[in-house]
Copies of this chain bind each other. A is one copy, B any other.
Amino acid sequence: MNKVILLNKRPVGKPTADDFKFIEEELPVAMNGQVLLKTLYVSVDPYLRGRMSSAKSYIPPFNLNEPIQSGIVAEVIESKNPDFKVGDHVSGILSWKELQVSDGNGLMKVNSSAIPLSAYLGILGLTGLTAYLGLMEIGKPKAGETLVVSGAAGAVGSVVGQIGKILGCRVIGLAGSDEKTKMLTSKFGFDVAINYKTTTDMQSAIATAAPNGVDIYFDNVGGEISDAVLANVNQLARVPVCGAISVYNETEVPMGPRIQTTLVKSSILMQGFVVSNYAAKFPEAIKQLSIWLQEGKLTYTETIVHGFDQIPQAFIDLFEGKNEGKMVVKI
């Protein structure tokens, strides 16, 4: 039998184990033109929380009692499609199933000899693309500028900071534990890292860390942390808004200081985005990220959880900040 994870109910507030349902189905069979795929690595990402609610968003919500989907690296174990052969590794948006069939649409072959397979869910997958394209297309960093990254120890944030350093920026990371801030400066080369959980006055901590003010704020979290950064931005600052994990689980829209006056006073650009807005630039971005990776200029952290049954809990743990870097489940 084939294990499958369905959306059992739409989370209210923080997701819980109860929102997911495990079932077993008949083993799938590849028809002509199809391949049979064995799931190797499953990506769990904060954005999936959005698809679990029924609210209108940039991608359609998951249906109740249907399999959840996310980025997956799989192995072709049977092929009735001439484009793929047994043993090929592929990545794509696939279902949370141990085995599944695909007609090959949307699958990308990946090379497992040069880099570990899990990297295709992270630094060379949507995570790396999100970091690179959000920073380059909206942040437009210039050497000598100051870049602040929130959620800096997360999968996207750690890549954003490293790219900032490669491009000659002063980079300040905000994260929620001393282990994380230590990692940001020692492993990822951030100039300064601030633990927002132990810092009482974030606004002045950022002012101290950014004596020339903040030119780019890559916002992964929203909320009060962002208020503190926005109080320190320079004229013509750019704010790519990548996520707002601090409020994804809120059942009512949280209140905060209105930002229109700040935007006008300093001519700030603030832009929400999802990586698919820049799909046309994926090849160029993957090429650049691969070069930096092979040159040793980019590094990454993964939290790898083991076992198909652990997928829901790994997702839930994202909202507790239990991951360092990209959270991946190895089957």
The answer, yes or no, to whether A273 is at the interface (CB within 8 Å) is yes
Binary contact readout A245-266 vs B (1 if CB under 8 angstroms, 0 otherwise): 0011000011111111111111
Across-interface contacts of A244 in B (CB, < 8 A): 258, 260-261, 264
Across-interface contacts of A265 in B (CB, < 8 A): 50, 55-58, 272
Interface set, chain A 262-288, CB cutoff 8 A to B: 262-274, 277
Q: Are A262 and B254 in contact (CB under 8 A)?
A: no
The answer, yes or no, to whether A8 is at the interface (CB within 8 Å) is no
Of B222, B260, B261, B271, which contacts A261 at CB under 8 A?
Answer: B222
Q: What band does the interface of chain A fall in when counting residues whose beta carbon is under 8 Å from B?
A: 35 or more
Q: Are A272 and B277 in contact (CB under 8 A)?
A: no
Within the complex, what minimum Cβ distance (angstroms) separates A33 from chain B? 33
Across-interface contacts of A256 in B (CB, < 8 A): 255-258
The answer, yes or no, to whether A107 is at the interface (CB within 8 Å) is no
Q: Are B235 and A263 in contact (CB under 8 A)?
A: no
Cβ contacts A to B, 24 pairs, < 8 Å: A50-B265, A55-B265, A56-B265, A58-B267, A226-B260, A236-B277, A241-B263, A242-B264, A243-B264, A244-B258, A247-B260, A254-B258, A255-B255, A255-B257, A256-B256, A256-B257, A259-B259, A262-B272, A266-B272, A267-B271, A267-B273, A268-B271, A268-B272, A271-B271
Given contacts A260-B272, A264-B272, A267-B277, list 20 more A-B pairs with CB under 8 A.
Answer: A50-B265, A56-B265, A57-B265, A58-B266, A222-B261, A223-B258, A223-B260, A226-B260, A241-B260, A241-B263, A242-B264, A243-B264, A244-B260, A253-B261, A254-B257, A255-B257, A267-B271, A267-B272, A269-B269, A269-B271
